[in-house]
Amino acid sequence: MEGAAVLGRLNWLEAEVVEIRPETSQTKTIGFEVPGWPGHRAGQHVDVRLTAEDGYQAERTYSIASAVDDSRIELTVERLDDGEVSPYLTDELRPGDTIELRGPVGGYFVWDPHAQGTVFLVGGGSGVVPLMAMARQRAAEGSKIPTRLLYSARTWDDVIYRDELTRLAAGDAGLDLVYTLTRAQPPGWEGYGRRVDLELLAEVAPAPAVLAVAFVCGPTPFVEAVASGLVQLGHVPARVKTERFGPTGG
Q: Residue numbers of the site for ligand FAD (CB under 6 A)?
A: 45, 60-63, 76-78, 80, 82-86, 126, 129, 243, 245-246, 248, 250
Distance CA 104, CA 37 (A): 9
- End-to-end distance of the chain based on CA atoms, in angstroms? 36
* Displacement of CA 10 from its chain's centroid (Å): 22
Distance CA 108, CA 250 (A): 21
Residue type at 177 in one-letter notation? L
Looking at the Cβ atoms of 62 and 192, the one nearer to ligand FAD is 62
Residue 7 CB, nearest distance to ligand FAD (Å)?
Answer: 22
Residues in the chain: 250
Residue 206 CB, nearest distance to ligand FAD (Å)?
Answer: 25
Looking at the Cβ atoms of 82 and 190, the one nearer to ligand FAD is 82
Residue 160 CB, nearest distance to ligand FAD (Å)?
Answer: 9
User: Residue of minimal CB distance from ligand FAD?
Assistant: 83
Looking at the Cβ atoms of 221 and 250, the one nearer to ligand FAD is 250
Looking at the Cβ atoms of 89 and 200, the one nearer to ligand FAD is 89
Distances (CA, A) of 12 to 34, 35, 104, 212: 10, 11, 11, 35
For the chain, give the longest Cα–Cα distance. 56
229 neighbors 197 (Cβ within 8 angstroms): yes
Residue 210 CB, nearest distance to ligand FAD (Å)?
Answer: 28
Residue 198 CB, nearest distance to ligand FAD (Å)?
Answer: 26
Residue type at 87 in one-letter notation? P
Looking at the Cβ atoms of 150 and 223, the one nearer to ligand FAD is 223
